Structure 1
Amino acid sequence: MTRLYAGEPAAGPWRAVPVTEVLAQLRRPRILAVDGRSGGGKTTVARRLAAAVPGATVLHTDDVAWYHAFFDWADLMRDGILAPLHAGEDVAYRPPAWDERGRDGAITASAASPLVVVEGVGIGRRELTRYFDALLWVQTDEDEARRRGLLRDGADAADVWAEWQAAEDPFQAEQRPWERAGLIVSGAPDVPHDPRSELVVAPAVRPSPA
């Protein structure tokens, strides 16, 4: 049985849909946000979306948050990436911690890119929604997301994972980004599908009437 995070409603019914159809349902966005839980499959979803659009770009909130803060990076994302893209400008952004710690390169995206997918926990927060054209929420079983996260980060990262969850859980519970998503994507689908060209999706979840 799927065990969802507290406060997150179960989506459904689920069906396999070609990635091109997902983008069409979202009205072919130019800037697309992909939010979900850590370890939930957001990066995989973002890459699959980008692979369907020649010239697409994938950006990661982790690069903005790097040595900065778990979630207190909305101003950096807005001023350094989303606002310029929204205004039709190229992006070549170095967050402050990159300079402080001598990280090479920059976060780059061309204004000419037909699709920029920005993925990461917290990208669907309210204060950033005006800067993207559509939002997807990736829903994943809590236990599966944790298993993936520890597999990715190493079993000795359990304490860091617990610290992260202590910040992520109340943040997402307050933000409720799934209520602003155009579609819900399964991060661990059990519906038969072609992982090369399809996503398993469910209709948007809307807030219950007060």
Structure 2
Amino acid sequence: MHLDPLRVELRPAPGEPAVGAWQRTPVSQLTAHLTSVAERPGLAERTRIIAVDGRSGGGKSTLAARLVDHLPGAVHIGTDDFAWNAPMFAWSSLVLEGLVAPLAAGREVHYRPPAWDAHERAGAIDVPAATTFVVLEGVGAACRELADVVDAVVWVQSDVAEAERRGIARDIAHGGNGDEAASIAFWHDWMAAELAYQDAQRPWTRADVIVAGTRPDGDVDGDVLWMSGPLR
């Protein structure tokens, strides 16, 4: 079922092609499409990895949670847990070592990145061995270094001004980067690095699906705006 195309103009970051016309469908239709992409004929039965990438504040984690709700046996893993106190955008080897390798061997994941021990962070990254899908979500989830182990890529396109507004509001509410002034300063420092990284990586050119991270006023609750990728 395809509903009428809907025009929603998002102003993406410089260098990222804009999407104008989207299809609006229930989330279940999007997950059915992603399942067909991730489970291509001829692939061995194993845990599938769906990467959800996009700009900070763009709606990635919200979308990932919705996907997990509609994918059987799915687990949401944030790249922030691998990136925590690791070199910026240099943590893909940790994903390969701690997540991909045990899942490929049919084992459960119980992984503590090195920085967790160094900084005495409690807990671990856990994924049961029988997991059907891992939704790996975060900036850099669809990086080139993970392209050979990711089964489907979702790029979340966001309006750059709205993403900044939401991201700064979230950081202020969380309080992890200091007061309002410190949070704003941190956001701009982070975005300088993130924009350069995403411009070099161009993950939208590898996306199987593009999803609108900003929903229009009056949109039907439960629907999602998306189109088949990639963007060139």
TM-score (norm 1): 0.91
Partner residue of 1:16 out of 3, 14, 24: 24
Partner residue of 1:168 out of 194, 213, 222: 194
Whether the 8 Å contact between 1:13 and 1:203 is mirrored in structure 2 is: no
Corresponding residue of 2:226: 201
Residue 76 (str. 1) matches residue 84 (str. 2): no
Corresponding residue of 2:176: none
Q: CA deviation at 1:56?
A: 1.5
Corresponding residue of 1:51: 69
Structure 1 residues 110-151: Cα deviation after superposition (integer angstroms, max 9, x where no partner): 221122101000111111011111010000000111111111
Whether the 8 Å contact between 1:181 and 1:204 is mirrored in structure 2 is: yes
SS of corresponding position for 2:126: strand
Residue 152 (str. 1) matches residue 178 (str. 2): no
Percent of aligned positions that are identical: 46
Structure 1 residues 51-81: Cα deviation after superposition (integer angstroms, max 9, x where no partner): 1134321000011111113211111111111
Q: CA deviation at 1:21?
A: 1.6
Structure 1 residues 189-208: Cα deviation after superposition (integer angstroms, max 9, x where no partner): 22754443x3210231343x
Tell me the number of residue pairs that the alignment of Structure 1 and Structure 2 aligns.
206
TM-score (norm 2): 0.83
Give RMSD over aligned pairs. Answer: 1.7
Whether the 8 Å contact between 1:82 and 1:132 is mirrored in structure 2 is: no
Name the structure, 1 or 2, with higher relative contact order (CA <8 Å, separation 6+). 1
SS of corresponding position for 2:187: helix
Q: CA deviation at 1:83?
A: 3.0
Measure, in 1, the Cα distance between the counterparts of 2:229 and 2:72: 27
Letter in 2 for 1:139: Q
Measure, in 2, the Cα distance between the counterparts of 1:58 and 1:93: 15
Deviates more, 1:19-28 or 1:92-101: 19-28
Corresponding residue of 2:157: 139
Measure, in 1, the Cα distance between the counterparts of 2:55 and 2:189: 14
Letter in 2 for 1:126: R
Whether the 8 Å contact between 2:210 and 2:228 is mirrored in structure 1 is: yes
Give unmatched runs, 5+ long, in structure 1. none
Corresponding residue of 1:190: 216
